Chains A and B, each alone.
Chain A
């Protein structure tokens, strides 16, 4: 099955030849109906990549084919297929939500009943029908974000680009946005290219994740596949405070099935184990028999943050 988004050797350098390289030899193959996340820290090249895929920026090199159309020679055909949700609230604050949707709907080529119906549908989807006639400037940050998303969905595009759509929103609005993204795939079969620096979002939403850093895709695959690259060890943290743990006890713990490594760090015993939850009762028994007082226990399964840390030596938010 051919990819709906196909990117080869994509490059972008700002102010060449001395300016910073924002994107370097990026390859992407995204299938129709897939949610693909670009995960990376701020400044990794996510927005630049999406800007080139939207026709906003001219690529410095490489090729972009969307739905079989080349973005540089058939930009208008490509733009009919895509809906873009930028990171910024790209709305007219002195217009109401309905006026904003009507305006951008017309730019997407909608008119008459079709436009009216599309506007009502997206307003219902973001649950703002009741306040549709109020000016955007009176909305909360979360409501603005929802209208920002609605504009990109008006013309029922086959592909939606969402550039960090949850930045700066409250947890409730964030949850609503994530649910909307999942609905786009399930109910409308849309392809979603989603950028974020929140690994939980990428992990929850994505069929596949591309980890991007310094303009390069450094790893790609499903969440499970990526985690496998760092091994499937869980991390158990036993909070022991200032107690000195004798070497004999640590040695005894290392004998528990699945445990591969133990170290004492910042008041914690940090245990790495292949099946952390199974090893946990044995570790607690050893501690209680040795009069080691455990204040709390945390079991952390490996995630994309660990993958990023493993690949780059840095955290996603550093």
Chain B
């Protein structure tokens, strides 16, 4: 054990006493995050203070009382709010895009919009479903007079925080898309009922069934199945609310991104130091001492891991400070659950170290490892969302970010920044551990093959 710690100490002493390395490890990510934070917070003259990203905090007040055809307001709730808020389905992009909560009344939610804790609030009126539904009597009357069956009109209200110039419109567009689906269903239902009404003279039993509600299940099924685009009878009204900046902020998005990105380089360079040691013969010298190869490799890997962890801890603390300078003393861009932050950080560094070891194990020289690392880690960072949100990628490429530790790490930290806890980052932590396991195994197998020095 003493030998293991000796190697770990040596690894990190060399790493943290290297001035050039310190610039890459600490100064660069802090500076980049601070610049982006400043730019988006308007202190440097930029107007935008909100960017599209994950977990846009939104609220829904469903006052819809429904009708015989169901409750159309509930469709919005089902589409936007996960049934299990602790473990939302990660494959549903709307659950990733929004962090939606339901409220009993507008009075309860409006203060949160004003405070900036919510980017937008959707209020569904009490007569929403009723307005879109027509009674059988109205259909029969219209059919008898040869007129078009009536289609109801109703409205939805979105209250949005003026500071949320980008994320609130994303919510509005999403609500619009859902509303379009409901409109389509309504028209399909109206057409069906109209056809039934026209058939009543030849089949009076149908009229009795329709009037007694006996066809309601059939009609509801038609509504669900309807998917053709059609006229939109739902008017969405947007109401501006002056208030504080929304809870989501760019610093909370980019800081973890850059921290993970640069930590990835640190641990890869750390893993590649085994090649440098081989060239300089210090590795061979270690092997000639009564120290097992497992201890030597373990010490180097663990040293690299601990180095990455220390870097992340310093960056997290430094960026909390930067966040408070830019956004006020209450700001906490990493969230308020230290246990969750610790778990996620341990997993993120493990995944990055695994990838770093795998990269180094395939390289023959330090230069080759450096080039491979630059290419692979930059690509992973790009795809993983370090430089722009992954939601802007085409849908058929949406699986790609999930292959990177950057995505899962950032996703987890963004969850925590939006108020999440340990339960809400478990899927991210698990994904990171899977990545760590796969790449550690690849790296160790590969290094073991080359242990005949």
Interface residues of A (CB under 8 A from B): 51, 54-58, 76, 79-80, 82, 84, 86, 88-92, 94-95, 99, 103-104, 106-109, 111, 151
Cα A151 to Cα B2 with chains together (Å)? 18
Query: Which of B13, B286, B453 interacts with A107 by CB under 8 Å?
Result: B286
Cα A54 to Cα B7 with chains together (Å)? 20
Cα A79 to Cα B293 with chains together (Å)? 12
Chain B residues whose C-beta falls within 8 Å of the C-beta of A107 in the assembled complex: 3, 6-7, 286, 289-291
Chain B residues whose C-beta falls within 8 Å of the C-beta of A51 in the assembled complex: 284, 453
Chain B interface residue bracket vs A: 20 to 34
Known: A88-B281, A90-B281, A111-B2. A55 touches B288 (CB 8 A): yes
A-B contact pairs, 8 of them (CB 8 A): A51-B284, A55-B287, A58-B452, A79-B290, A84-B285, A90-B282, A95-B13, A99-B13
Chain A residues whose C-beta falls within 8 Å of the C-beta of B292 in the assembled complex: 76
Known: A99-B13, A151-B285. 17 other contacts (CB 8 A): A54-B287, A55-B288, A56-B284, A58-B452, A79-B288, A79-B290, A86-B285, A88-B280, A88-B281, A89-B281, A90-B282, A91-B282, A92-B14, A94-B17, A103-B10, A104-B285, A107-B289
Chain A residues whose C-beta falls within 8 Å of the C-beta of B10 in the assembled complex: 92, 95, 103
Those of B432-453 within 8 Å (CB) of chain A: 452-453
Known: A57-B452, A76-B292. A86 touches B284 (CB 8 A): yes
Cα A84 to Cα B452 with chains together (Å)? 17
Cα A30 to Cα B143 with chains together (Å)? 115
Cα A84 to Cα B291 with chains together (Å)? 14
CB of A108 within 8 A of CB of B289, answer: yes
Interface of B is mostly: helix
Known: A92-B14, A94-B14, A94-B18. A104 touches B453 (CB 8 A): no
Q: How far is the CB of B440 from chain A (nearest CB, A)?
A: 24
Chain A residues whose C-beta falls within 8 Å of the C-beta of B6 in the assembled complex: 103, 106-107
Cα A55 to Cα B291 with chains together (Å)? 11
Chain A residues whose C-beta falls within 8 Å of the C-beta of B13 in the assembled complex: 95, 99
CB of B280 within 8 A of CB of A90, answer: yes
Those of B1-23 within 8 Å (CB) of chain A: 2-3, 6-7, 10, 13-14, 17-18
CB of A56 within 8 A of CB of B2, answer: no
Which of B14, B17, B289, B292 counts the most A-chain CB atoms under 10 A from its CB? B289
Closest to B283 in A: A90
Known: A56-B453, A106-B3, A107-B6. A80 touches B285 (CB 8 A): no
Query: Which of B2, B3, B17, B285 interacts with A90 by CB under 8 Å?
Result: B285
Q: How far is the CB of B274 from chain A (nearest CB, A)?
A: 14
How would residues 286 to 319 of chain B score, 1 for a CB under 8 Å from any chain A CB and 0 otherwise?
A: 1111111000000000000000000000000000
Q: How far is the CB of A105 from chain B (nearest CB, A)?
A: 9
Chain A residues whose C-beta falls within 8 Å of the C-beta of B288 in the assembled complex: 54-56, 79, 82, 84
Chain B residues whose C-beta falls within 8 Å of the C-beta of A54 in the assembled complex: 287-288
Chain A residues whose C-beta falls within 8 Å of the C-beta of B284 in the assembled complex: 51, 56, 86, 90
Closest to A88 in B: B281
CB of A92 within 8 A of CB of B453, answer: no
Chain B residues whose C-beta falls within 8 Å of the C-beta of A55 in the assembled complex: 287-288
Known: A57-B452, A57-B453, A94-B17. A108 touches B290 (CB 8 A): yes
Those of B41-59 within 8 Å (CB) of chain A: none
